[in-house]
Structure formats: C-alpha cells, structure tokens
Amino acid sequence: MLTAVYPGSFDPLTYGHLDIITRAAACYDELHVVVFSNSEKNPMFSVEERVHMLQSTCGHFPNVVVSSSSGLLVDYAKKHDIRVIVKGLRAVSDFDYEFKMALMNKQLAPEIETVFMITSLQYLYLSSSLVKEVASYGGKIADLVPPAVEKMVMDKIQTMK
Ligand code: ADP
C-alpha cells in the first residue's frame, strides 16, 4: 500500500488545494491531508476549524484521511509509515521555498521522496492569502473556495468586524 502526505496551512482551503487533493488521491492508495500549524503567524482559522473545513469538503474521497500536526513533517510521515510527500507548485515564486524544504526533508529522512504536482492553469494565481484579502474587502470568493469554506470565511469576517 502506497500512502502519501499532502501538508499545508489550508488557511483557508481553496480550489487550488482541492485540485491537488483530487489528483493526488487518484495516484496513491491513501492520502493524508495534514494541517500544519507551525509556520503561519496570524491564522484566520484555528487548526480545529481548518480540519473541519477539510473534513466537510473531502468526505467523498474514500482514501483521504484528514488530520493535523504541529511537529516536523518527516516525523509525521515516519510515524504513519509514509514514503511520499506531495507538494503543489504554482509559479516560480513557490519554487525556491519548496526546493529548500524538499532538500531539508531529504536530509532529515532520505527514505522519503517529495513529489511536486504542477497547479492546474486556472489555479495558478490562487492562494489562501489572496482569498482572505479579497474577502476582507467584500469581494466575491465563490469561484475560489468550496461553498462550505466561503460561508466559514464570510462568518469569520463578520465576527472580526
Ligand atoms: P498557501 O500558499 O495558499 O497559503 P498552503 O501552505 O496551504 O498554501 O499550501 C499547501 C500546499 O498547497 C503547498 O504545497 C502549496 O504550494 C500548494 N498550493 C497552494 N495553492 C495552490 C494552487 N492554487 N495550486 C497548486 N498548489 C497549491
């Protein structure tokens, strides 16, 4: 059985993430989609809210497991006997950071491979931070995130006012 992990902050989940999840779930027997909370400074959503967001959107994938972690990605992978890390790549701007992370993870755990999936063209410029920015100025985000996420973002913005 070949299991992969797709890590991210998912703050919030976008159609760009969902595209990678859909494609990766078709490539591996099992895909762990894991909310990592260590890197972002001021998240809009708590880890629990992001896990809930992923669970309510990925429920129809029989081989997708949603969870969270605050430790090292390679430690999560080792603990669950996972040999593949899936990352999404948008523009060149993602490349430098992802390259650095992949090399560091290789050094920490040489038996684990990082696999990059190139974004689908329509999601090239889609990021969680862009979604938050557009929504905070009252812009429409229905084309950028699933309906359940759109509602969570709108509700959160109301409570922040
Ligand atoms: P963001 O940069 O949007 O805050 P995350 O940390 O949640 O992203 O991203 C998790 C993973 O998903 C990363 O590998 C990132 O490159 C990838 N990703 C994010 N948005 C997209 C997209 N629109 N297309 C392809 N991959 C994406």
Q: What is the mean pLDDT of residues 105-132?
A: 96
Delimit the domains of the chain by residue range: 3-160
Question: Regarding the domain with residue range 3-160, which homologous superfamily does it belong to in the CATH classification?
Answer: HUPs (3.40.50.620)
DSSP SS3 for 114: strand
128 CA: nearest ligand 1 atom: 3
118 CA: nearest ligand 1 atom: 25
- Is residue 139 classed exposed, middle or buried when 0-12, 13-18 and 19+ CB atoms within 10 A define those classes? exposed
> 136 CA distance to ligand 1 centroid (A)?
20
Our answer on whether the CB atom of 123 is closer than 6 Å to any ligand 1 atom is yes
CA nearest to 123, candidates 18, 6, 43, 34? 18
Q: Does residue 93 register a pLDDT over 90? A: no
The pair of three-digit structure tokens given for residue 100, joined into one six-digit string: 């650095």
CA nearest to 32, candidates 100, 79, 101? 79
> 145 CA distance to ligand 1 centroid (A)?
13
- 48-69 residue pLDDT tens: 999 999 999 999 999 999 999 9
Q: Does residue 138 register a pLDDT over 80? A: yes
> 35 CA distance to ligand 1 centroid (A)?
12
